[in-house]
Structure 1
Amino acid sequence: MAHADERLFLWLNGFVGTIPALDRVVTWLVSDYLIPVTLALALVMMWFIKTDKDTRERHQIGVFVALTAMALSSLGVFIVNAMYFRPRPFESLDATLLFYRPTDSSFPSNAAAAVFGIAFAVWGVNRRIGSMFIAAAAVYGFSRVYAGVHYPLDIVASALIAAPVAWLTFRLRDLLMPIIRLVMKAVRILCLA
């Protein structure tokens, strides 16, 4: 499996430098800011968007679930990283790097797990918005492979961690409701919900 992962990485990363326009786009996409911040702003929009009361409350609960899924997905990556360290592809292979040189484990990708955690959780609340989030997370994962930061399996593993975490968080939201309602009450007092 590792050899297929390396071959796919080398094939994708081999396009770096051959399509300058794609390289420029990926340089923006791979950053720690564009897609994660865009998803964060979309969560803020979900929180504040003026819809009927039930939809708005469902979206606000969805934001809590998404942030919880993101945190728990990152925790899952942290646990895997404590047991297994995989060098980054640019450390092990002849790769072209379009990004800075991260020093943490390549497997699984914490950045991808975080955005997939948010995306899968939002999908549980709103299929249309969640599908857009999942597409953005997939583009983010692809860009991290293309840019030489991760192997493809790092991204797949991140999604495989985030999906059940988001599903479980979504399913257990009723247990979180006392905390969510308390926070919602405080936020409403501040006129933020």
Structure 2
Amino acid sequence: MDYKMFSAFNRLAGRYSLLDMLMILISNKVHYMFIFVLISMLFGNRSHKKVAYSSISSAIVTLFISFVIKLFSFKYRPFVKHRVGILLPSKTDSSFPSKHTLLVFAIATSIFLRERVLGSILLAISTLTGFSRIWVGHHYPSDIIGSAFISSMTGIIMNKTFKNNAS
């Protein structure tokens, strides 16, 4: 099922050069936009600083969770097990979780919980980032969905932690 869903999207890779370029751009560069948003928030008012600290904490905790998961489990990337369209070179480390997806969803969720409009935009971009990782041939849909879930939960927990510490 996971491979069938992966194939439905990935088989389009390489057929539409403009879309391929967009997916490569999103996959490789969108995290810079998230960094810019966080830096901007760090220079904002007190409320924005809290959101930025919560988001950064979520990203760090999410990276730690990813590290622990990868210590105990390994899932081959799609291009290792199957003949797929791969648009970017990649490491052959574990496919799950997707670090790109983890980081953008952790930040977007943390921001969404306090700044709905900006957070909604970032969540949409996070979804595109996850989709781009399937498009370029690096991850299965379950990797993206699982990573989005883990990082969203981390963002919610860190947001509650920061709210309780502020009280």
Deviation at 1:38, TM superposition (A): 0.5
Q: Does 1:14 align with 2:11?
A: yes
Instruction: Indicate the SS of the match to 2:107.
Output: helix
CA distance in 2, matches of 1:98, 1:29: 12
**1:163 match:** 152
Distance in 2, Cα, partners of 1:136 & 1:161: 17
Is residue 14–residue 87 contact of structure 2 (8 Å, CA) maintained in 1?
Answer: no
1:139 is aligned, of 113, 118, 128, to: 128
The corresponding residue for 2:24 is 27
| Higher RCO, 1 vs 2 (CA within 8 Å, ≥6 residues apart) | 2
TM-score (norm 1): 0.82
Gaps of 5+ in 2: none
* Match of residue 87 from structure 1: 76
Would the aligned equivalents of 1:73 and 1:113 in 2 still touch at CA under 8 Å? yes
| 1:37 aligned partner | 32
Which residue in the other structure is 1:48 paired with? 43
CA distance in 2, matches of 1:95, 1:176: 48
Gaps of 5+ in 1: 50-55, 178-193
**1:68 aligned partner, one-letter code:** S
Q: String of CA shifts for 1:51-105, please: whole Å, max 9, x gaps.
A: xxxxx21111000000000111111111111111001100011111111121221
d(CA) in 2 for partners of 1:57, 1:27: 36
For 2:163 and 2:16, how far apart are their aligned partners in 1? 49
- Pair member with larger Rg: 1
What is the aligned-residue RMSD (CA, Å)? 1.5
- Counterpart of 2:133, as a letter, is R
Q: Give the fraction of aligned pairs with identical amino acids, expressed as a percent.
A: 27
Q: Which amino acid in structure 2 is aligned with residue 136 of structure 1?
A: I
Say if 1:30 and 1:99, in contact at 8 Å, map to a contact too.
Answer: no
Letter in 2 for 1:7: K
How is 1:55-74 mapped onto 2 (pairs within 5 angstroms)?
Answer: 56-74=45-63
The residue aligned with 1:130 is 119
